[in-house]
Structure 1
Amino acid sequence: MGKRSRQRQKNQNAGRDDRDSNAGWGAGYADIVKENKLFEHYYKEQGLVPEGEFEEFMEAMREPLPATIRITGYKSHAKEILHCLKEKYFRDIQELEIDGQKIEAPQPLSWYPDEQAWHTNMSRKIIRKSPLLEKFHQFLISETESGNISRQEAVSMIPPLLLKIEPHHKILDMCAAPGSKTAQLIEMLHSDMEVPFPEGFVIANDVDNKRCYLLVHQAKRLNSPCIMVVNHDASCIPTLQINSDGRKDILFYDRILCDVPCSGDGTMRKNIDVWKKWTTSNSLHLHGLQLRIAVRGVEQLAVGGRMVYSTCSLNPIEDEAVIAALLEKSEGSLELADASADLPGLKWMPGVTSWKLMTKEGQWYSDWSEVPKSRHTQIRPTMFPPKDPEKVANLHLQRCMRILPHHQNTGGFFVAVLVKKAPMPWNKRYPKLRTNPLSSSSAQTGDPSAASSPADASSLLPEGTPEEVEEDGPGGKTEVEAEHEVPPGDSQEAGGKQDSVCGPPPSKKLRLFGYKEDPFVFLTEDDPVFNTIQSFYDLSPSFPKLNVLTRTHEGKKRHLYMVSKELRNVLQNNSERMKVINTGVKVWSRNSDGAEFGCAFRLAQEVTHTHAHT
């Protein structure tokens, strides 16, 4: 891996180490001075906190983050888990006093549906001081491992709720690790317990190969055949293809979660290192990457689809600046949705329309024209707010949502909901014509107007698609059919060298260095291994055996997995485009001792629920 690739991966991991986990349950806070004068000065000047509330805001930032848990909603015994928590554990806790401190009774999050998310002021340190709380702690651990409970920060639960997931949706989670939000998305797909194989699926991506296995762990707890974990740079994640009625279509997603890497200053309550490390240069370094990831996301979004952009940063450079630049580039193809009524009970501040930029040396800039040329490589035009009042009004930036810690005793967070109204303008304007163009997006979007002309049809490929995928493994070098050409004179950076030009960033080449995962191989119709299993387990002739796969071309098959037919379609048509880390649910595992009884495979524990419904 080259130096630039390592730096890009490092940037994409910035501010993401613990953002979905809930440090309040387990973090003993070290003695550290929770002061950063630059931070206070910066946010006072930005005016993001309502007048008269800044001291309360800073006081909340210095307090440990309350612990929160979420009950897995689609599990059939979710009500039993909730009843057990309320009647057995929460009732005892509210009468408890430790070292003169009364333990507050856990309370449901007012904005989370059906009392399935709860918060309290307890930390692991307090839990360990009482035998009763220790039992409660062990209960949480065991239920978390079994997938019945997730320990997740409250604000981290917001983006999946705003996506409004339906069981038929095709979903992309662009920067997914460690995976608590991914788990929420999977749960929402399985909202109907009577349908073990919903039509939709979740593709969860992360740039860091090691962190992808955190995603695998989260997914395995939920035993879903509709999840695939992939390992790509989100800013140039490849365009996938699917087979639709015998022809190749581009896969456009109905829902995309774009929870980008960020400076993480909204996590100071649990990640106390941020107090020492915070500087304004963090957001300047990340803005370009955040915008590239967001652009890549909306390119892959179906017309009519929703994308949620979120950060755990309060900084407008990482928040409204990215959204404003994205909306301007879209020329009306995107619209900020009004999500104000979607989560009743959630307190949030509307997005701002003006902000300033400050260097780490304390120099302020209000407009791109003020920035000296020596700073042009670090500071880009897209970091500043639009100046034209009419243009500002049309962006509706006030529809963005900023969650401040002192309003509901949470972490800091920013979220914006985008709806795609039409294909992105550069896809219509600068298509790269192919001799055998892919079919239109109408099959994906249900909207025949999505590609009403040959130019539209040939430009369905999102910009920035890797023109060439090189792989060290089998298959060698493949050329992706759907290429895209950068129009002459357009910017070669996400921010754009020319303020007036609206065009895509440059195409990037994705090189699959160091990729060593075994390939997924689907069983054939007459595979002798499955014939034995079908006979031994007396499976119905309608059992979807073509959706069963393994991870080896040769030798004995150790495990057999199952995916939904929709994910099978994706896997079969993109095997050389994707770095697949894991997919599906394990159904059978080899047990050589069982051969004497007629079958060398035993049912895997993971599949007991799914198998019972097939």
Structure 2
Amino acid sequence: MGRRARARRQQQQQQQQRGEEDGGRAGGRRGAGWDGGYPEIVKENKLFEHYYQELGIVPDGEWDQFMGALREPLPATLRITGYKSHAKEILHCLKNKYFKELEDLEVDGQKVDVPQPLSWYPEELAWHTNLSRKILRKSPQLEKFHQFLVSETESGNISRQEAVSMIPPLLLNAHPHHKILDMCAAPGSKTTQLIEMLHADMTVPFPEGFVIANDVDNKRCYLLVHQAKRLGSPCIMVVNHDASCIPRLCIDVDGRKETLFYDRILCDVPCSGDGTMRKNIDVWKKWSTLNSLQLHGLQLRIATRGAEQLVPGGRMVYSTCSLNPIEDEAVIAALLEKSEGALELVDVSSELPGLRWMPGLSHWKVMTKDGQWFAEWGDVPHSRHTQIRPTMFPPSDPEKLRAMHLERCLRILPHHQNTGGFFVAVFVKKAAMPWNRRAPKPQGGTGEPRTCVQPSPAEPTAAPQEATGPSEPDPEPGMPDAGVSASPESAESDGARRDGVCGPPPSKKMKVFGFKEDPFVFIPEDDPLFPPIQKFYALDPSFPRMNLLTRTTEGKKRQLYMVSKELRNVLLNNSEKMKVINTGIKVWCRNNSGEEFDCAFRLAQEGIYTLYPFINSRIINVSIEDVKVLLTQENPFFRKLSSETHRQAKEMRGQTRYAAPSCCVAGGGRRPCGPSCPRTNDCTTCA
């Protein structure tokens, strides 16, 4: 017997011996309830129940329903990407094909629940269902339904998203011209909703607005990039910063740098997540009030930084998936008190008809992890001051508390509409924040508006852990210069930067923390790369060629990306202060086999929506029968298509030196197929 065989045999004997010993103690694993899987987590936490019963967040007589809902699995919810031209067709297909087949379906003698629309989501574009993965595998009809959901999710037509997570973007009330900041964006489901709002009008390839999506976790930023890429927008930028001290950005306005202020800010802060107990069952065992006490300061700093960067008249939504007032109303009250009237809570009770919610609390207490209660800051002993802060308590002045209108906050309870727990508050900015209201200081006697100054590279990028005051003061729109001048290091950095190149080589510090990205290089006007592309695709003169960029400063440019002119403005003016992970959309890819012919670049599938309005050649109009062939057959020959389509392809082949018609777009009229095409890397089959 070989050495490995002997070792394997010895291991089996030891395992058998241990099993016999366990069998003598209450039947071993079987006696402990082991049936081949892990023991089920007990959904009980007495401290959790004691805490929320004492705070009274649940209406009288509903406690049992509240706890019963928390112990039930969370229903799956899906959202149809509403801005796309075929959203209505997908909705029609779901309702009249897949959902119809489920009406009389039974699995293991149990009737399957038909998915239902969320009553408060516009145009029936969001649905929830109680179908589990186990049930989905047991019926052919459900298997087809599941495959449909998977394919449409991959193509960006459908998103799996928790119901309550859809609420903040809706209340943000974003429009295509808005500049939007998503402060804590990963994994990106809310970000995709915001992108949809930018592209509400599909006939406009470049909306005036944009979304800057930020997350502090470098790895989660790439998940955010993946989510955003499914929607194919040139108006999205993913950055990697600590939201509590996210840098202020500059933009060029008529030759002068000015501070960028956002029209809409989504502040979905990190939280203890006790509203997610229905899907994250570990929370049952790990829940403690200490989590909320530790997060309160960070949440307040993030919300404060968001308020600083909001334009007067703009709207900011603060949200958590926690039910704890320390993370919710306490943060809202502290921010309102610090703002001294600059911020106001908005009454949004009529904006989502059909949504059931509870008003925010006006009174609450603070409890330590060992169950000790404090009703006001004066009761807290000095030994607890590092754990409990004054901002965790409601304002002591009744008049001030009444003026805050904390009842305008929304608390979503799980048992009311079969959802997770959630909290939302909506702010509108009325004026500059108090620490930004600086006395006017004329600049050279001219009284010109404040201009934006690039910070020194040594500018700190992280706030102290315990600091709860405002971040570095930012100028407000229209405020005069406070006499700040650029540092020599900053001036030298600006002078050394090459025109059109955004993103210098990362420093050693960046490499240590995982940030290492290729630069963003805009294509100059005299670059010989572009004229062949323009001629080959007969691009319209209005095509914004200055918005094309690559990710390399040396060698061949293998991929071309495109951003909107507004994001180009942001990139060119903030390269030293932003850690950009990704931006824009890929529109052309180098085709090595075609370099000796008319054009070395083929169309990228994800950029079709953006490029299509500008392309005046390489277009083949196809019939519905051709579309079916392209979607159901892999690599179909052109002779399998209709005679008219074949004729167009032959004419196109004759216009170039290619042996085949090369890169082209197939469509019926003036609308491309979008990302639902099965051949995502070969646009000759984009139908």
Q: TM-score, normalised by structure 2?
A: 0.76
Q: 1:516 to 1:186 in 2, by over 3 A?
A: same
Distance 1:301 1:103 in 2: 47
Q: How does 1:367-382 map to 2 (within 5 A)?
A: 367-382=376-391
Q: 1:256 to 1:568 in 2, by over 3 A?
A: same
Name the residue aligned to 1:550: 550
Distance 2:137 2:442 in 1: 65
Name the residue aligned to 1:68: 77
Q: Counterpart of 1:513 in structure 2: which amino acid?
A: M
Q: CA deviation at 1:435?
A: 6.4
Contact (CA 8 Å) 1:237, 1:296: kept in 2 or not? yes
Q: State the superposition RMSD in angstroms.
A: 2.5
Distance 1:36 1:146 in 2: 41
Alignment deviations for residues 459-484 of structure 1 (CA, whole Å, 9 cap, x no partner): x98xxx995435xxxxxxxx69xx9x
- Give the share of equivalent positions with the same residue, in percent: 75
Alignment deviations for residues 169-201 of structure 1 (CA, whole Å, 9 cap, x no partner): 000000000000000000011001111110000
Q: How does 1:506-585 map to 2 (within 5 A)?
A: 513-514=510-511, 515-585=515-585
Distance 2:472 2:525 in 1: 43
Q: 1:436 to 1:345 in 2, by over 3 A?
A: farther
Q: 1:492 to 1:120 in 2, by over 3 A?
A: closer
**1:469 and 2:457 equivalent?**
yes
**1:170 and 2:158 equivalent?**
no
Contact (CA 8 Å) 2:435, 2:473: kept in 1 or not? no
Distance 1:506 1:523 in 2: 35
Q: CA deviation at 1:51?
A: 0.7
Contact (CA 8 Å) 1:283, 1:318: kept in 2 or not? yes
Please state whether the residue corresponding to 1:303 is helix, strand or coil. Answer: strand
Which of 215, 221, 238 is the aligned partner of 2:230? 221
**1:589 and 2:583 equivalent?**
no
Please state whether the residue corresponding to 2:595 is helix, strand or coil. Answer: helix
Q: CA deviation at 1:255?
A: 0.1
Distance 1:380 1:100 in 2: 56
Q: CA deviation at 1:506?
A: 6.2
Please state whether the residue corresponding to 1:528 is helix, strand or coil. Answer: coil
Q: 1:505 to 1:194 in 2, by over 3 A?
A: closer
**1:331 and 2:340 equivalent?**
yes
Please state whether the residue corresponding to 1:181 is helix, strand or coil. Answer: helix
Distance 1:95 1:430 in 2: 72
Q: 1:101 to 1:424 in 2, by over 3 A?
A: same
Please state whether the residue corresponding to 1:202 is helix, strand or coil. Answer: strand
Name the residue aligned to 2:621: none
Q: CA deviation at 1:128?
A: 1.1
Please state whether the residue corresponding to 2:85 is helix, strand or coil. Answer: coil
Alignment deviations for residues 485-509 of structure 1 (CA, whole Å, 9 cap, x no partner): x9xxxx995446xxxxxxx24689x
Q: Counterpart of 2:604 in structure 1: which amino acid?
A: A
Name the residue aligned to 1:410: 419
Q: CA deviation at 1:519?
A: 1.0
Q: How does 1:246-395 map to 2 (within 5 A)?
A: 246-395=255-404
Please state whether the residue corresponding to 2:180 is helix, strand or coil. Answer: strand
Distance 1:131 1:577 in 2: 54
How many residues in Structure 1 have an aligned counterpart in Structure 2? 542
Q: 1:466 to 1:212 in 2, by over 3 A?
A: farther
Distance 1:30 1:208 in 2: 32
Please state whether the residue corresponding to 2:353 is helix, strand or coil. Answer: coil
Distance 1:599 1:538 in 2: 12
Distance 1:467 1:492 in 2: 22
Please state whether the residue corresponding to 1:561 is helix, strand or coil. Answer: strand
Q: CA deviation at 1:513?
A: 2.4
Q: 1:327 to 1:30 in 2, by over 3 A?
A: farther
Please state whether the residue corresponding to 2:578 is helix, strand or coil. Answer: coil
Q: Counterpart of 2:428 in structure 1: which amino acid?
A: V
Q: 1:561 to 1:385 in 2, by over 3 A?
A: same
Distance 1:30 1:427 in 2: 56
Which of 156, 159, 162 is the aligned partner of 1:150? 159
Contact (CA 8 Å) 2:436, 2:473: kept in 1 or not? no
**1:600 and 2:597 equivalent?**
no
Name the residue aligned to 2:221: 212
Contact (CA 8 Å) 1:66, 1:121: kept in 2 or not? yes
Q: CA deviation at 1:610?
A: 1.5
Q: 1:279 to 1:531 in 2, by over 3 A?
A: same
Q: 1:596 to 1:495 in 2, by over 3 A?
A: closer
Contact (CA 8 Å) 1:492, 1:506: kept in 2 or not? no
Name the residue aligned to 1:45: 54
Distance 1:531 1:576 in 2: 31
Q: How does 1:198-209 map to 2 (within 5 A)?
A: 198-209=207-218
Distance 2:313 2:538 in 1: 44
Distance 1:577 1:383 in 2: 33
Please state whether the residue corresponding to 2:570 is helix, strand or coil. Answer: helix
**1:188 and 2:206 equivalent?**
no
Contact (CA 8 Å) 1:203, 1:230: kept in 2 or not? yes
Please state whether the residue corresponding to 1:310 is helix, strand or coil. Answer: strand
Contact (CA 8 Å) 1:173, 1:202: kept in 2 or not? yes
Please state whether the residue corresponding to 2:241 is helix, strand or coil. Answer: coil
Q: Counterpart of 1:574 in structure 2: which amino acid?
A: N
Contact (CA 8 Å) 1:492, 1:505: kept in 2 or not? no
Alignment deviations for residues 375-420 of structure 1 (CA, whole Å, 9 cap, x no partner): 1111100000112110011000000000000000000000000000
Distance 1:588 1:436 in 2: 48
Gaps of 5+ in 1: 1-27, 440-452, 471-478, 497-503
Q: Counterpart of 1:576 in structure 2: which amino acid?
A: E
Distance 1:548 1:257 in 2: 29
Q: Counterpart of 1:167 in structure 2: which amino acid?
A: P
Contact (CA 8 Å) 2:81, 2:159: kept in 1 or not? yes
Q: CA deviation at 1:542?
A: 2.2
Q: Counterpart of 2:354 in structure 1: which amino acid?
A: G
Q: CA deviation at 1:31?
A: 2.2
Q: CA deviation at 1:586?
A: 0.3
Name the residue aligned to 1:11: none
Distance 2:44 2:439 in 1: 50
Contact (CA 8 Å) 2:245, 2:471: kept in 1 or not? no
